[in-house]
Amino acid sequence: MRPLIESIVLWVAFAGGWAAIAASNLRRQPSQPPVRLTWWAAVLWLVVAIPSVIQLAQPQLLDAGMRNAAILEHGEWWRVVTANVLQDGGLAGTVSNLAVLAVSLLIIVRALPGLHAVLAFTIGGIGSMLLQLHHPGAGNSMATLALVAASTVIVTARRPALPASVIGLVVIIAVGIVLTVLGNEHGPAILLGLLLGALIRFIPALRPRPPAGREEPPT
C-alpha cells in the first residue's frame, strides 16, 4: 500500500508543477500553446532514452552503470551520471520515466532557456544520486522532478504571481517534505530542485533573461 501511495503523491507533484508552469506560459504568451518542442529538449530526451532502450536488450548495462556501493568502495563516481540514463523499473518503469520526461520538457521549454533547463536537470540528477549513495538504483525520475521543481520556483517568482503557479509550488514543497520524511528518494530530489530554482531565479547572474520585448520587474 505504501509504494502505491508514494506513487500517487509523485504524480500529484508532477501535476502541480506542470499546471504551474503551463499557466505561466499562457500568461506570458496567451496566443501560443503552452507546450513547444525545441532541438535541445529533443536532444536531452534522446540522451536519456537511447541508453534506457538499449538497456532493455542488454540488461547487464544496468549493473555496469547503476548507483550502488561501488561508487564509494571502488571510486566509480561516474555512476552518479550513468544512473540517470538507465532504468531499474523494467519496461513499465522505462516507458513511464521517458513519457514523464517528454511531457515535462514540452512544457518547460516555454518557461526556461535551454542552458538553464539542461543544467537544472543535470545538477538535479547528479546531486540526487549523490544523496542516495547507499541505496542502489537508477532512473531519470529524480532528475526530472528536480527540473520540474526548479522551473516551478522560477515561474512562480515572476510578478505578478499566478494563483495556479503558487498552488503548484505549495504542492511540490509539501510533497518534497512528505516524501523526505517517509524516506522516499524522490523527496530530496524535489527539495534539491527547489533550491536550484531559487538560486537561478534570485541570483542576478543566473537569472534567465526575459523574451525579447518583455521586461520583468526586479524581485
The domain segmentation of the chain, as residue ranges, is 2-202
| 196, β-bridge pairs | none
In whole numbers, what is the pLDDT of the chain averaged over residues? 91
Question: CA angle, corner 61, sides to 60 and 66, nearest 5?
Answer: 110
| 67, β-bridge pairs | 137
Measured CA to CA, the distance from residue 37 to residue 102 in angstroms comes to: 10
CB 147 within 8 A of CB 108: yes
Residue 129: predicted pLDDT = 96
Angle of helix 186-202 relative to helix 2-28, nearest 10 degrees? Answer: 20
pTM strictly above 0.75: yes
**213 has pLDDT over 80:** no
Cell of 160: 505578478
Q: What is the pLDDT of residues 90-131, one digit of tens each?
A: 999 999 999 999 999 999 998 889 999 999 999 999 999 999
CB 137 within 8 A of CB 88: yes
Measured CA to CA, the distance from residue 108 to residue 34 in angstroms comes to: 9
Residue 210: predicted pLDDT = 54
**Cα distances (angstroms) measured from residue 201 to each of 3, 136, 152, 198, 210:** 34, 33, 11, 5, 12
Measured CA to CA, the distance from residue 54 to residue 59 in angstroms comes to: 8
Distance of CA 11 to the CA centre of its chain: 13
Q: What is the pLDDT of residues 37-78, one digit of tens each?
A: 899 999 999 999 999 999 999 999 999 999 998 888 899 999
Distance of CA 143 to the CA centre of its chain: 4
Cell of 209: 533573461
Residue 59: predicted pLDDT = 94
